[in-house]
Chain A
């Protein structure tokens, strides 16, 4: 994260990739599939949100561990900002998914295990912010929330990746459904999907880096 805060080239990469993704994702030709039809384009906007969320949470956990080992306030700031943007991405992923599901699965909430799991995952991280808000002492807050952050990440991994696979799910790769690699993600989609994942993730880190700098400035002003 320190590297990302110092350099700028990845922001240009992000702009370039996202321009390509928005144009390509909306205009390039897609495979014709029953029910899905044109809604298959949601792949470039819904799925990368979850990837972005996971990368942001991963960054957040890494900085939480760093905070516990070093005790530097900076790491806590980074960890908190990454988690905030991660939750924001999660909410966007949820909304885009629900919007898409209305047209394909027939209703916004069809009690799909992965959908339920991600709702719980978001609840876990909402609790993280409540926890931060309810501790007055700054060092105490940083320490306790870092511990909870690690705990939360450990809970979210089985929720999103193990439990849905044990039951039937409408999402690909779960409950005996084949994953992305084995069907319907043909090369035309892949050419946009992978750049989309990288682009949206970079955008997440970009927003987070602005937040980190803003927090730093506010802290300096307080001092």
Chain B
């Protein structure tokens, strides 16, 4: 199992490394989004707006990054079908997407703080909340991408299936992050943060249980 997971993660890494254009395209996408945000909000950005804009940019990059994941598997999937366990495949995807999301997150944050100023408030909790939110985003979109890859128009399906489902994660993490940016600490975010973690747990557990059904079809 562990060998399979590592092999699958390395495989995803290699696939992305070989065709660099999609990855490079995503990073460019982030920069363009940030510049558009900068142009539209340049002179009147408040901490709350900063926060909302940042999360929306993360949401869009995340959905675009993960959407292609299962679509590109189509021609290879027959081969996996016989060799790898579905549990290993989804675990590898979840880990890979989380790491991928982190790379995008760091880029987005750097570009964002360059143009629109860095985040204020408690660094530690801001980062922790960001990580928890990204985990939710990447795992929910991984599952949705597995579903959307079976349909006719993947890119639209990804958005309409994914956005409503992701809203609980998004609301919780945006409100936590707003609290922190405005100077709050752990006591202010504790209930929301625990709720966010439990929503993440539910999403990941469901992904594990349900993925084999989508894979075998």
Contacts and interface: CB of A to CB of B under 8 A. Distances in A.
Instruction: Please determine whether chains A and B interact with each other in the same assembly.
Output: yes
Interface stretch (B54-62, B67-75, B166-174): B166-174
A162 B167 contact: no
A8 B53 CA distance: 55
Nearest to B159: A127
B164 A140 contact: no
Q: How large is the interface on A (under 10, 10 to 19, 20 to 34, 35 or more residues)?
A: 20 to 34
A121 B175 CA distance: 19
B199 A68 contact: no
B161 A123 contact: no
Interface of A: 68, 120-121, 123-124, 127, 130-131, 134-136, 139-140, 143-144, 146-148, 150-152, 154-155, 158-159, 162-163, 166-167
A166 B147 CA distance: 31
B83 interface: no
B195 interface: yes
Given A134-B152, A166-B191, A120 B160 contact: no
Given A131-B161, A144-B217, A166-B195, A159 B168 contact: yes
Contact of B152 (A136, A163, A166): A136
- A-B pairs, top 10 by smallest CB distance, nearest first, are A124-B164, A123-B164, A134-B151, A127-B160, A147-B210, A143-B217, A155-B165, A158-B168, A134-B152, A127-B161
Contact of B147 (A124, A131, A136, A155): A131
B30 to A, nearest CB: 26
A163 B191 CA distance: 11
A131 B213 contact: no
A165 to B, nearest CB: 10
Contacts of B191: 166
Given A120-B167, A123-B163, A134-B153, 20 more contacts: A123-B164, A127-B161, A131-B147, A131-B157, A134-B151, A139-B217, A140-B217, A146-B213, A147-B213, A147-B214, A150-B210, A151-B143, A151-B144, A151-B206, A151-B210, A154-B202, A155-B165, A162-B168, A163-B171, A163-B172
Contacts of A154: 202-203, 206
B45 to A, nearest CB: 23
A148 B148 CA distance: 10
A32 B192 CA distance: 38
Contacts of A167: 175
23 contacts: A120-B164, A127-B161, A131-B161, A134-B151, A134-B152, A134-B157, A135-B151, A135-B152, A140-B217, A144-B150, A147-B147, A148-B147, A148-B161, A151-B144, A152-B165, A154-B203, A155-B165, A155-B168, A158-B199, A162-B168, A162-B195, A163-B171, A166-B191
